[in-house]
């Protein structure tokens, strides 16, 4: 191979590198810097100009229930549907399983979770906030957690924002209550 062949190869490699890095520099020059605050702000409800009830912002999903929160969930437990809860639990299956004897998934196994001590599933590394909460998973605590995990236990690892509808949360709790060797009786 003569020196002219080597020069052509070196020129081709350098041209390719110049094209790659030059394109990158141009793209980065056109891109804005990092956002001032990370994340995305969800549309909030807007108050009616006539002083009426708040309306969801354009493009926002309507509220699932007029009443929500732990108290509303507990009130709905007496008429909750475990079958509907099983269908709703499909959202939870992305991170949890609910089969006796199965290991943890992304989150802990929820078999027998009702009245079980918090942060007690063997082999799952709970957040410090969950470990500090203490106590058992009562219906009241499950209602609060399922409705708003980060509100009930700030610092929890759970990334799910919760079920906004009291009826849906009550149905999931009814399903969880039956998934145990000794199913928990729902409060009346």
Three-state SS for 76-124 is: HHHHCCHHHHHHHHHHHHHCCCCCCCCCCCCCCCCCCCCCCECCCCCCC
pLDDT tens per residue, range 156-174? 988 888 888 889 999 999 9
Does residue 5 have a pLDDT over 60? yes
Instruction: Describe the crossing of helices 139-147 and 166-178 by its angle, rounded to 10 degrees.
Output: 130
Does residue 146 have a pLDDT over 80? yes
Whether 44 maps to a domain, the answer reads no
* pLDDT (0 to 100) of residue 35: 67
The count of domains in the chain is 2
Greater confidence, 53 or 30?
A: 30
* pLDDT (0 to 100) of residue 44: 61
Whether 187 maps to a domain, the answer reads no
In terms of residue numbers, what domain contains 152?
70-178
Whether 40 maps to a domain, the answer reads no
Whether 52 maps to a domain, the answer reads no
* 15 in the same domain as 93: no
């Amino acid at each position: 191979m003569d020196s002219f062949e080597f020069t052509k190869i070196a020129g081709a490699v350098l041209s390719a590198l110049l094209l790659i890095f030059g394109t990158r520099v141009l793209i980065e020059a056109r891109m804005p810097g990092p956002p001032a605050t990370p994340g995305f702000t969800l549309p909030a409800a807007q108050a009616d100009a006539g002083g009426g009830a708040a309306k969801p912002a354009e493009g926002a999903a309507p509220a699932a229930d007029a009443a929500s929160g732990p108290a509303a969930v507990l009130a709905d437990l007496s008429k909750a549907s475990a079958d509907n809860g099983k269908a709703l639990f499909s959202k939870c299956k992305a991170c949890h399983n609910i089969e006796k004897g199965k290991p943890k998934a992304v989150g802990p196994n929820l078999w027998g979770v009702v009245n079980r001590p918090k942060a007690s599933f063997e082999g799952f590394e709970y957040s410090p906030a969950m470990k500090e909460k203490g106590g058992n998973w009562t219906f009241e605590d499950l209602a609060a957690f399922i409705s708003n995990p980060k509100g009930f236990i700030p610092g929890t690892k759970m990334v799910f924002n919760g079920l906004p509808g009291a009826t849906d949360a009550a149905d999931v709790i009814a399903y969880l209550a039956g998934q145990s060797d000794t199913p928990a009786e729902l409060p009346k």
